Structure formats: structure tokens, C-alpha cells
Amino acid sequence: MNILIPDSWLKEHLKTKANAKQISYHLSLCSQSVEKTTKIGDDSVYEIEITTNRPDCLSVYGIARELTAILPRFGIKTHLKKLTLKEIPKPVKKLPLKVKINKNNLCPRFTALIFDNITIKPSPKIVRERLEKSGIRALNNVVDISNYLMLELGQPMHTFDYDKIKKAKMILRESVAGEKIVTLDSQKRLLPKGTIIIEDGEKRIIDLCGIMGGQNSEVDQKTKRVLLFVQTYNPAKIRLTCQTLGFRTEAAQRFEKGIDPEGVIPAMKKAVGMFEKLVGAKVANQLIDIYPNPPRPKTITLSETKLNQVMGIKINLSEAKNILESLGFISNPKPQASNLVVTVPHWRQEDVSIPEDLIEEVARIYGYHNLPSMLPKGEIPQSLESESFYWEEQIKKALKFWGFVETVNYSMVSADLLKKTGFDPKKCLKIANPLSEDLVFMRPSLIPSLLEVIAKNLKQEIKIFELANIYLSQGNNKLPEEKLMLAAAITGKKFYHAKGIVEAILEELGIKNKPVGNIAEINGRVTIFELDFGKLTKEATKLKKYQPLPKYPPIIEDLAFVVPEKTPVGELIQLIKSISSIIQSVKLIDSHQQTRTFRITYQSLKKTLNDKEVKKIRDVIIKKVEESFSAHLKTG
């Protein structure tokens, strides 16, 4: 996630003489990457990419806290200014508000405060400019406060018109299937089951928690009393809802990465000061703070041996201690001088858990650029080649030389494509949150994708293949079966050409007489085949059999038999081959109506055959085929 931070706002929390170029360079070197710096008037705006594991950096103050540890390592004096927080005053009047949370794990910490005497007006120029430089449109003094503090402290918050909350009652719960809400952007949204929502005393849904408020409780020009929410939510729930709805906001991006519950009260105190200063508001109730399970402080033991082993250099524990303390960790030496016991600061509770995490913190502030660069020594590790990868490369090369082009298609297909190619969508795996209507089902075969490619390129002759997984349903609550398949398609009436390709693949793999797939011709326009690549590689062998070229020439002839319908050609070929050891090969070369033409190769390894010897074998072939398959030789 990228955030925008004006240098002027950063310097409000950071006392330093570092210029924008120095801040960009050193922050990128030791922490979060500054993608670019944009000059706006006399100010500079940093665009910073924040890694997913560091939600504590998704704010102006979080970046200032990082720079407090980083800049002194480069000889630049820096001091983090203390936040100015307004203590929450006792309310002059007490407006009622009943709050119920159905499950504590939905909302680890919930705070709410009511403000009276609200006057809606534009925010001061400095607030508007900072919001706009940070990529957020200024609206009014009340809404701007919540956005301003989200950017400054990383704590999203939401404002409601208190008088629009029926019966002054709020119930935080999970949605049931079919419930809807009209959000602040005027969009009606069908909520997936399990979405965190808030309903009021008349069971109206007034908040899509952590993402966007409801239009029925929004602050407008007539608002006189405001309810401010500052809380944390279950990150997995927020992320799942965003993915399902295909809808994500600035607040949601922070909530789904995890919000520090200990940062809630400082944010609320800062909000109180801004409401009094910018709005002229008065606190109108006791602070509601529901916090049933505060996290316990986390301690980690770090040994000097482990530190040096992972770092790859000798570094004193005292230096590691100084680095960790500059980042907000509290480290206390154990009685043994070779260990540190480190307490993790509350804003890093979810990110730091094991000694290696502490070592990473030491290493990045010490500077990866300061670690020695050494080439590996010793023998190069020899990895065993994957049999599957080997055969994949062999078959891809072979198909390329046979004139095929490889295609790479989505693993998802539409219901319409499945129906057109003879598959029942109800028996296929349906995606819960599809990217589009064309990518709804996991494909049970590669054939639909190849046919779709051909349909879009009908004006040219095509020979394409794909080697990829298909996905077969195994029933409810079971993972699908993934099968690696090889499929190819050739335009035109090319059944025997495709059959020859399959036979060549099997020959390349050294496979004989094993059913591994299907081949078919579609309306005389496309020939397709699909093979189970898992079965192919299981039966494949790299061993090749070689024999010297025969000294004596072969005799080759074609015999055409008229056979009954549904005669098994494979069995007929096996019968012919079994008649004599002189018969080296039998191939089906033509099929028309009920006539099958076979090309037979006669060859002796001991002498040159004459017509008389071949005739004897031919007569036996004709007799056996007529007796076994009720066929007769076609003449004339």
C-alpha cells in the first residue's frame, strides 16, 4: 500500500535538519521505500510504499517514529516530538447511548464519544491542504477530523449524526445472508454473510464497519450532535468483506492489516482537542471504552550467539540494545551478559514474535549495506531434477518442433463456455469472489479454453497446446483435485494427424498400451486431444532401446478391409501383428465409411524376402481377419 506524506506535516512531529532528499534516501535504505518525491509549492510530498507487515508505518507519526531511529545512524540529529493530547473532559450534559457487541472477537476495542454544539463549516486551510496533498478531498470540519487523524496517527475513525441513530442504541454484529446497506457513496450493497455491521434501535443497518458508514446516519449540514467512533476490528473479517464486495477504502486498507488497540485512546484524545478547536464542540457523554481482552506485553530473549550467527558479523549486545531502544523496544540485560530480554512495543505486537524478528530490526538499522558481501564457498549444491519438469520441457520442445504454439489461459472460465463445450457448470467448482462474469468456474478440462482460442482465430490454420492444471470437485468441505493435463487442438479434419502426434508423444516417453486420455474430431472442423500428464510421467522412462539398422530391405503393402460398424481397430492391428515375427509394423492409414486401410511392413533380419514368402503371410492375415472380425478384403 502506498501513502502520501507532506514533508511539512512530517516535520511537525520530527525535529531534524534532514532535507527531503536525505529523508527519502535513508528511509528507503533502512525501512519503507520512498517511490518518489513531488514538489508542491514550498513543500515536498513523499510517496511511500508500506510493506504489508508494517501497518504501524501507515501514518505520518509512524514514519516519523521510524526516522527517529534511522537518521542518527547517518549522523543527522533527530528528535521525535511528543504528541499533544487533550484529556477527555467530564461532560456538561450526558446524552444516552447503549452499545452491545455480540462477539468480542469482532471488535477487540470499541470506544465512542458524543459531541454536542456542532457547527458544520469548512476546515482551516492547513487541514484542507494537508488532506489534499495526501490524496483525500476535504469535505467539512467534522469529517475532515476523522480523515486527518487516520493519516496522522494511522487510526481510522468514523463520525455519525447522533440524532439519526434511532433510540440511541447500537448493536455490533455479523450480518445474515440477504441484508443490504446504502453506503455514503450512495451505492446499495448486498452484504455477504458474516460481515461486521452496526444496527440502531430500529434494526436499521447504519455502518459497514471498518469500510464505510451508512448514508442513513451520515453527517450533513444540519448535523448538531456527532457520535465519534474509534475502534479496532477483526482484520480477517474486514479483508474477506472487501474481497467479496470488490470494494476497498483507505480505512479498510488499514483495518485489514491490523490496528494497534493501544493507539485508540491517544487518537480519541487528539480528536477531542480538534473537535473543541475546529468545531467548537462539547463532550456530551462519558467515554465508552469496551476492551475485554487487552494484549499482554510480549517479551523475547535474544542471545549474542544467535545475533552474531544470523547477522554474519560480530556485533555487541550493547549496540543491538541501543538500536532496539531507538525503535521503541525496551531491553533489559539478563544476569548473563550474553542475553537480552526485550519487551515489544504495543505498535509492533503483531509483527515481532521471535528472536529472528529482533535481529531483522537490528540488521536494517545497522544497515544491510554495512554487512560484508561474501561469495559462497565450497561445492555448488546439486539439486535433484524434477521428473515432471524434465518431461514437461521434453514434450513442449517436441510439440514446438511439430509446429504447435503454446497457449497460457486463465484457470477460470464462464458458465456459458462450459455449457457450449458440453460441461455442466453445477458439477464444476464455483469461485466465491469471481473477478468477472467470464471467470466464475475453475475449469474441469483444458479443452474449453483451447476451443475459445480457436473461435477467436477462425481465419487461420491453428495448432495450439496447453500444459496446465484442471480442477475437479471432490464434494463439499474437500479440497479440489488438481490434475496436470496436456491438451492440443488442430483446426481442420486432422484426426489421423493428431493421432500420430499422440503416438509420437507416447513413443517419446517410452509408453506402450496404457490409456492416458482422449482424442476426438469436432464437426470435421477441429481435432482435439487431452492427456493426463500425471499418468504420462508416471509411466515414462528415459531408457531408450537401440538396435542396428536391418541389412535386408522391407516389403511394404497396403491392405483395405471392409469391416462391420464399431470394429475395434486396435484389436484388429494386434491380431495382424501376432501372425508372424516378420511383420514389423501395422498402421491404420485411412478410414472411409466401413473401409479400414492398413499399411503393413514385412521385414526379415536374416534374409531378403520374396513375393512368395510374403504371399503366404498375406493369405493368413486375410483369413484370420475374415474369421475373427467378419470382415473381407476390399478388391478393385
> Could you tell me which residues are beta bridge partners of residue 302?
340
pLDDT of residue 375 exceeding 90, the answer is no
pLDDT of residue 272 exceeding 90, the answer is yes
The Cα 207–Cα 456 span in angstroms is 46
The least confident of 225-234, 453-462, 623-632 is 453-462
Across residues 621-632, what is the average pLDDT?
A: 93
Q: Summarize pLDDT for 484-512 with one digit per residue, the tens.
A: 999 999 998 888 889 889 989 988 888 87
Residue with cell 448486498: 190
> Could you tell me which residues are beta bridge partners of residue 598?
559, 588
Most confident of 322-326, 514-518, 563-567, 591-595: 322-326
Most confident of 87-101, 370-384, 449-463: 87-101
pLDDT of residue 544 exceeding 90, the answer is no
The least confident of 4-18, 67-81, 122-136, 238-252 is 238-252
Across residues 346-374, what is the average pLDDT?
A: 92
Q: Within 10 Å of residue 16's Cβ, how many Cβ atoms? A: 19
- pLDDT higher at 545 or 559: 559
Residue pair 260/291 in contact (Cβ under 8 Å)? The answer is no
Give the pLDDT of residue 636.
Answer: 66
Across residues 427-453, what is the average pLDDT?
A: 89
Mean pLDDT for the chain overall: 92
The least confident of 220-224, 313-317, 481-485, 506-510 is 506-510
- pLDDT higher at 570 or 382: 570
Set of cell numbers at residue 583:
511383420
Distances (CA, A) of 273 to 84, 231, 277: 9, 18, 6
CA angle 174, 179, 180 (to 5 degrees): 115
Set of cell numbers at residue 494:
486432422
Across residues 168-172, what is the average pLDDT?
A: 96
pLDDT bin (cut points 50, 70, 90) of residue 331 is confident
The Cα 242–Cα 179 span in angstroms is 16
pLDDT bin (cut points 50, 70, 90) of residue 336 is low
Phi, psi of 381 (to 5 degrees): -60, 135
The Cα 405–Cα 408 span in angstroms is 10
pLDDT of residue 590 exceeding 80, the answer is yes
Strands 481-491, 463-472: pairing is antiparallel
pLDDT of residue 383 exceeding 80, the answer is no
Give the pLDDT of residue 522.
Answer: 87
SS3 491: strand
Give the pLDDT of residue 333.
Answer: 64
Whole-structure pTM value: 0.68
Give the pLDDT of residue 579.
Answer: 94
pLDDT of residue 88 exceeding 90, the answer is yes
Amino acid at the residue 23: I
Could you give all domains of the chain from N- to C-terminal order, each with its CATH number?
2-80 (3.30.56.10), 98-290 (3.50.40.10), 299-369 (3.30.56.10), 387-539 (3.30.930.10), 555-633 (3.30.70.380)
Q: Summarize pLDDT for 524-539 with one digit per residue, the tens.
A: 889 999 999 988 888 8
Alpha helix locations (H) across 402-471?
415-420, 447-455
> Could you tell me which residues are beta bridge partners of residue 281?
none
> Could you tell me which residues are beta bridge partners of residue 547?
none
